[in-house]
Amino acid sequence: MSFDVMIVGIGGQGTILTSNILGKACVIEGIPVRGAETHGMAQRGGSVESQIRIGQQYGPLIPPGTADLLLSFDLMETVRAVHWLKENGQIFTSQEFVVPTSVFMQDYPAPDEHMLLEMLDSRKYKMIDCHQIAEEAGNLLTQNIVLLGAASPEIPLKRESIEKAIRETVPQKTVDINLKAFDMGIEAGKSD
Protein backbone atom coordinates (compact mmCIF):
# COMPACT_ATOMS: atom_id res chain seq x y z
CA MET A 1 0.00 0.00 0.00
CA SER A 2 1.32 3.41 -0.93
CA PHE A 3 -0.63 6.68 -0.71
CA ASP A 4 0.91 10.08 -1.30
CA VAL A 5 -0.49 13.27 0.22
CA MET A 6 0.70 16.71 -0.85
CA ILE A 7 -0.18 19.39 1.73
CA VAL A 8 0.15 23.04 0.75
CA GLY A 9 -0.64 26.40 2.28
CA ILE A 10 0.73 29.73 3.41
CA GLY A 11 3.00 30.18 6.43
CA GLY A 12 0.95 30.03 9.63
CA GLN A 13 -1.94 27.96 8.27
CA GLY A 14 -0.85 24.71 9.93
CA THR A 15 0.63 22.84 6.98
CA ILE A 16 3.52 21.36 8.97
CA LEU A 17 1.30 20.54 11.98
CA THR A 18 -1.09 18.67 9.69
CA SER A 19 1.73 16.64 8.15
CA ASN A 20 3.03 15.85 11.65
CA ILE A 21 -0.41 14.55 12.62
CA LEU A 22 -0.58 12.30 9.56
CA GLY A 23 2.95 11.05 10.21
CA LYS A 24 2.16 10.27 13.83
CA ALA A 25 -1.05 8.46 12.82
CA CYS A 26 1.06 6.25 10.52
CA VAL A 27 3.45 5.48 13.38
CA ILE A 28 0.49 4.64 15.65
CA GLU A 29 -0.72 2.12 13.05
CA GLY A 30 2.77 0.78 12.35
CA ILE A 31 2.66 1.91 8.71
CA PRO A 32 5.93 3.08 7.12
CA VAL A 33 5.87 6.80 6.38
CA ARG A 34 8.23 9.25 4.72
CA GLY A 35 7.91 13.00 4.57
CA ALA A 36 9.55 16.19 3.34
CA GLU A 37 8.86 19.89 3.88
CA THR A 38 9.55 23.14 2.07
CA HIS A 39 8.94 26.30 4.04
CA GLY A 40 11.51 28.91 3.03
CA MET A 41 9.86 32.29 3.53
CA ALA A 42 6.85 30.86 5.34
CA GLN A 43 7.12 33.33 8.21
CA ARG A 44 6.49 36.13 5.73
CA GLY A 45 3.38 34.59 4.19
CA GLY A 46 5.22 32.42 1.70
CA SER A 47 4.25 29.03 0.37
CA VAL A 48 4.65 25.93 2.51
CA GLU A 49 4.65 22.41 1.10
CA SER A 50 4.69 19.15 2.97
CA GLN A 51 4.84 15.74 1.34
CA ILE A 52 3.63 12.66 3.23
CA ARG A 53 4.14 9.22 1.72
CA ILE A 54 2.01 6.68 3.59
CA GLY A 55 3.21 3.09 3.23
CA GLN A 56 6.23 4.24 1.25
CA GLN A 57 9.54 2.63 2.11
CA TYR A 58 11.67 4.59 -0.36
CA GLY A 59 12.33 8.30 -0.73
CA PRO A 60 10.33 11.10 0.91
CA LEU A 61 9.70 13.13 -2.24
CA ILE A 62 6.54 12.74 -4.29
CA PRO A 63 7.24 12.88 -8.03
CA PRO A 64 5.12 15.51 -9.84
CA GLY A 65 1.91 14.08 -11.25
CA THR A 66 1.70 11.16 -8.81
CA ALA A 67 0.12 12.42 -5.56
CA ASP A 68 -3.11 10.67 -4.61
CA LEU A 69 -4.45 13.61 -2.59
CA LEU A 70 -3.84 17.34 -2.52
CA LEU A 71 -4.78 18.97 0.77
CA SER A 72 -4.67 22.77 0.43
CA PHE A 73 -5.36 25.47 2.99
CA ASP A 74 -5.42 28.23 0.36
CA LEU A 75 -7.19 28.20 -3.01
CA MET A 76 -4.34 29.98 -4.76
CA GLU A 77 -1.90 27.38 -3.41
CA THR A 78 -4.23 24.68 -4.76
CA VAL A 79 -3.79 26.04 -8.27
CA ARG A 80 -0.05 26.42 -7.79
CA ALA A 81 0.34 22.82 -6.57
CA VAL A 82 -2.15 20.96 -8.79
CA HIS A 83 0.71 19.63 -10.96
CA TRP A 84 1.70 17.32 -8.07
CA LEU A 85 -1.62 15.46 -8.34
CA LYS A 86 -2.12 12.40 -10.50
CA GLU A 87 -4.86 12.53 -13.12
CA ASN A 88 -7.57 10.92 -10.98
CA GLY A 89 -6.30 12.29 -7.66
CA GLN A 90 -8.54 14.23 -5.30
CA ILE A 91 -8.30 17.79 -4.06
CA PHE A 92 -9.61 19.04 -0.74
CA THR A 93 -9.21 22.80 -0.49
CA SER A 94 -10.26 25.65 1.70
CA GLN A 95 -12.19 28.29 -0.21
CA GLU A 96 -10.04 30.99 1.40
CA PHE A 97 -7.14 32.53 -0.46
CA VAL A 98 -4.51 35.12 0.31
CA VAL A 99 -3.78 37.58 -2.48
CA PRO A 100 0.03 37.90 -2.65
CA THR A 101 1.48 41.29 -1.77
CA SER A 102 3.26 41.36 -5.14
CA VAL A 103 -0.10 41.64 -6.93
CA PHE A 104 -0.70 45.00 -5.24
CA MET A 105 2.74 46.27 -6.27
CA GLN A 106 1.98 45.78 -9.97
CA ASP A 107 -0.93 46.50 -12.27
CA TYR A 108 -2.03 42.85 -12.19
CA PRO A 109 -5.67 42.09 -11.50
CA ALA A 110 -6.15 40.31 -8.20
CA PRO A 111 -7.40 36.78 -8.85
CA ASP A 112 -10.88 35.85 -7.73
CA GLU A 113 -12.35 32.51 -6.70
CA HIS A 114 -13.98 31.91 -10.10
CA MET A 115 -10.72 32.51 -11.96
CA LEU A 116 -8.83 30.15 -9.66
CA LEU A 117 -11.42 27.39 -9.97
CA GLU A 118 -11.28 27.63 -13.77
CA MET A 119 -7.54 26.99 -13.53
CA LEU A 120 -8.24 23.60 -11.94
CA ASP A 121 -9.78 22.50 -15.25
CA SER A 122 -11.61 19.21 -14.86
CA ARG A 123 -9.87 18.17 -11.64
CA LYS A 124 -12.01 16.55 -8.97
CA TYR A 125 -12.08 18.89 -5.97
CA LYS A 126 -14.04 19.44 -2.80
CA MET A 127 -14.07 22.98 -1.45
CA ILE A 128 -14.66 23.36 2.29
CA ASP A 129 -15.55 26.57 4.14
CA CYS A 130 -12.85 25.94 6.74
CA HIS A 131 -13.07 29.47 8.15
CA GLN A 132 -16.77 29.21 8.96
CA ILE A 133 -16.52 25.68 10.37
CA ALA A 134 -13.48 26.52 12.52
CA GLU A 135 -15.32 29.58 13.83
CA GLU A 136 -18.29 27.36 14.74
CA ALA A 137 -15.92 24.88 16.40
CA GLY A 138 -14.66 27.72 18.57
CA ASN A 139 -11.23 28.68 17.21
CA LEU A 140 -10.16 29.96 13.77
CA LEU A 141 -6.76 28.34 14.26
CA THR A 142 -8.36 24.92 13.72
CA GLN A 143 -9.02 25.46 10.00
CA ASN A 144 -6.27 22.99 9.09
CA ILE A 145 -7.86 20.33 11.31
CA VAL A 146 -11.26 20.99 9.71
CA LEU A 147 -9.79 20.32 6.27
CA LEU A 148 -7.93 17.25 7.54
CA GLY A 149 -11.24 15.95 8.89
CA ALA A 150 -12.97 16.53 5.54
CA ALA A 151 -10.27 14.62 3.66
CA SER A 152 -9.69 11.90 6.28
CA PRO A 153 -12.15 9.32 4.84
CA GLU A 154 -10.02 9.30 1.66
CA ILE A 155 -6.75 8.73 3.56
CA PRO A 156 -5.91 5.07 4.29
CA LEU A 157 -5.65 5.59 8.05
CA LYS A 158 -8.12 4.78 10.80
CA ARG A 159 -10.10 7.67 12.23
CA GLU A 160 -9.07 6.60 15.74
CA SER A 161 -5.38 6.81 14.78
CA ILE A 162 -5.75 10.33 13.41
CA GLU A 163 -7.68 11.40 16.51
CA LYS A 164 -4.98 9.93 18.77
CA ALA A 165 -2.32 11.71 16.71
CA ILE A 166 -4.22 15.00 17.12
CA ARG A 167 -4.33 14.44 20.91
CA GLU A 168 -0.58 13.81 20.98
CA THR A 169 0.42 16.63 18.59
CA VAL A 170 -1.63 19.76 19.32
CA PRO A 171 -1.12 21.77 22.53
CA GLN A 172 -2.86 19.98 25.41
CA LYS A 173 -5.23 22.86 26.16
CA THR A 174 -6.52 22.78 22.55
CA VAL A 175 -7.16 19.03 22.21
CA ASP A 176 -10.94 19.17 22.69
CA ILE A 177 -11.49 22.04 20.28
CA ASN A 178 -9.26 20.40 17.64
CA LEU A 179 -11.14 17.11 17.95
CA LYS A 180 -14.42 19.01 17.58
CA ALA A 181 -13.05 20.76 14.45
CA PHE A 182 -11.94 17.36 13.08
CA ASP A 183 -15.43 15.89 13.58
CA MET A 184 -17.08 18.93 12.00
CA GLY A 185 -14.68 18.64 9.06
CA ILE A 186 -15.67 14.99 8.54
CA GLU A 187 -19.33 16.04 8.39
CA ALA A 188 -18.53 18.88 5.97
CA GLY A 189 -16.66 16.48 3.73
CA LYS A 190 -19.73 14.25 3.45
CA SER A 191 -21.98 17.00 2.13
CA ASP A 192 -22.06 18.06 -1.51
Q: Which domain range does residue 163 map to?
A: 3-103+111-190
Percent of the chain whose pLDDT exceeds 90: 61
Distance, in Å, from the CA atom of 171 to the CA atom of 139, rounded to the nearest integer, reads 13
Kindly report, residue by residue over 93-152, the tens digit of the pLDDT.
Answer: 998 766 554 444 455 555 666 666 666 666 778 889 999 999 999 999 999 999 999 999
Percentages helix, strand, coil for the chain, rounded to the nearest 5?
Answer: 45, 20, 30
Count of domains for the chain? 1
Q: Residue 44 has what pLDDT? A: 58
pLDDT tens, position by position, 43-56: 556 788 999 999 98
Q: What is the CATH number of the domain that holds 164?
A: 3.40.920.10
Asked which of 68-77, 91-100, 174-183 is least confident by mean pLDDT, the reply is 91-100
Residue 41 confidence class, pLDDT cut points 50, 70, 90: low
Q: Give the C-alpha separation, 32 to 158, whole Å.
A: 15
Q: d(Cα 140, Cα 131) in Å, to the nearest integer?
A: 6
pLDDT at res. 102: 45
3-state secondary structure at position 14: coil
pTM: 0.88
pLDDT bin (cut points 50, 70, 90) of residue 37 is confident
Look at 9 and 146; give whichever has higher pLDDT: 146
> Which residues, listed in sequence order, are joined to residue 125 by a DSSP beta bridge?
91
pLDDT of amino acid 4: 97
